[in-house]
């Protein structure tokens, strides 16, 4: 049961992690290429918002999965 919970959590969060990784790579490439400062700053803000969304999504998915599987385990134990 634990592996199923862990797999479901990883699959729920994986797309957000992928998007955050792409944004990080793009921001780093622009920062090292000495591009326009405002564009790099804008991407860093977008990356920060993406990180906040990733954290919120991860926490929400974890709570939802915990409650779902806790209810299943509670009914199985009785």
Cα 19 from Cα 74, distance rounded (Å): 36
The confidence score (pLDDT) of residue 42 equals: 72
Mean pLDDT of 38-48: 73
Angle between helices 37-77 and 2-32 (to 10 degrees): 180
Distance from C-alpha of 40 to C-alpha of 31, rounded to nearest angstrom: 6
Q: What are phi and psi of 15, to 5 degrees?
A: -60, -35
Please report which confidence band the pLDDT of residue 37 belongs to, taking 50, 70 and 90 as the band edges: low
Q: Name the pLDDT band for 70 (thresholds 50, 70, 90).
A: confident
pTM of model > 0.75: no
Residue 33: predicted pLDDT: 67
């Amino acid at each position: 049961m634990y592996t199923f919970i862990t797999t479901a959590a990883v699959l729920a969060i994986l797309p957000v992690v992928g998007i955050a990784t792409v944004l990080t790579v793009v921001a780093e490439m622009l920062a090292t290429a000495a591009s326009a400062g405002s564009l790099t700053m804008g991407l860093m803000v977008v990356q920060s918002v993406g990180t906040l969304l990733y954290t919120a999504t991860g926490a929400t998915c974890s709570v939802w999965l915990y409650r779902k599987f806790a209810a299943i385990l509670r009914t199985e134990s009785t």
